[in-house]
Amino acid sequence: MGRGGRSYFVQSGSNGKEEFVDYYELMQISPNAEHETIQRVYRMLAARHHPDNPETGDAERFLRLNEAYRTLSDHERRAAYDLVYHTRQAEPLRVFELKEFQAGIDGEANRRMGILCLLYSRRRTNPEHPGVSILELETMMWFPREHLVFTVWYLKEKNYIRQDDHSNLMITAEGADYVEEKLPSNKTLYKLLKASELGATRSERDVNWHADDQPYPSRAENS
């Protein structure tokens, strides 16, 4: 804990509000990752994002990686962090409060991409347990499951998602290809996945979720 009982992993955002940093998303590792995994991933990412690296240096991300490593590599700190982490996982993602995801046919296409993005992110960060339950989707997207039935049906029929042995939903390779192809044209959801790289998907950290600014690069431009 920090001064005054404030958690060291809760910081003040640009709008003055406290923000929670998802260290697992930041490092793209499972919440169940072993110490050896945390150490190995940290070393690789720290070398990549060190400010002295002329090609891939990123001072802000480097500092956050250091914070993440100090927390997750210490047993007591990680235990305290995980208590808050699991509480935050029960909170909805703010992006899905936007009108682009409203119930009904007008928001259907965006809800499909929203689910695919969430499953895509889960597959990347937790490949051993990539499934997401309908209850989790209901919580993250702030939609009753009844409003997601058609969306899930469509994605299953297109073979973009499938269910595991526990009826959890997982993205398929076809679904991942679809996300990577379509995401650059969906600025709002592009920001959702990019924010996860700094562990900020559940905070209000410098993320203007409204898609009204510059376009994002296509896969061809990134290649």
Q: Which domains does the chain have, with CATH numbers?
A: 3-88 (1.10.287.110), 94-196 (1.10.10.10)
CA 117/CA 220 separation, integer angstroms:
20
**Strand locations in 112-189 (E):** 161-163, 169-171
Residue 100 is predicted with a pLDDT of: 82
Cβ(143)–Cβ(95) under 8 Å? no
> Which of 88, 115, 92 is CA-nearest to residue 23?
88
Residue 195 is predicted with a pLDDT of: 64
The average pLDDT across 134-163 equals: 93
> Which of 176, 100, 93 is CA-nearest to residue 137?
93
Does the pLDDT of residue 220 top 70, yes or no? no
CA 24/CA 199 separation, integer angstroms:
7
Tens of pLDDT along 4-44? 333 445 554 444 455 688 899 889 888 889 999 999 999 99
- CA angle 70/76/81 to nearest 5° reads 70
The average pLDDT across 172-188 equals: 89
The set of residues, in sequence order, having a beta carbon less than 8 Å from that of 10 and lying 6+ positions away, is 18, 19, 20, 21, 84
pTM score, whole prediction: 0.65
- Dihedral sign (CA 159, 165, 166, 167): positive
The average pLDDT across 106-124 equals: 89
Cβ(49)–Cβ(56) under 8 Å? yes
Tens of pLDDT along 206-218? 444 444 443 333 3
Residue linked to tokens 């703010």 = 94
Does the pLDDT of residue 67 top 60, yes or no? yes
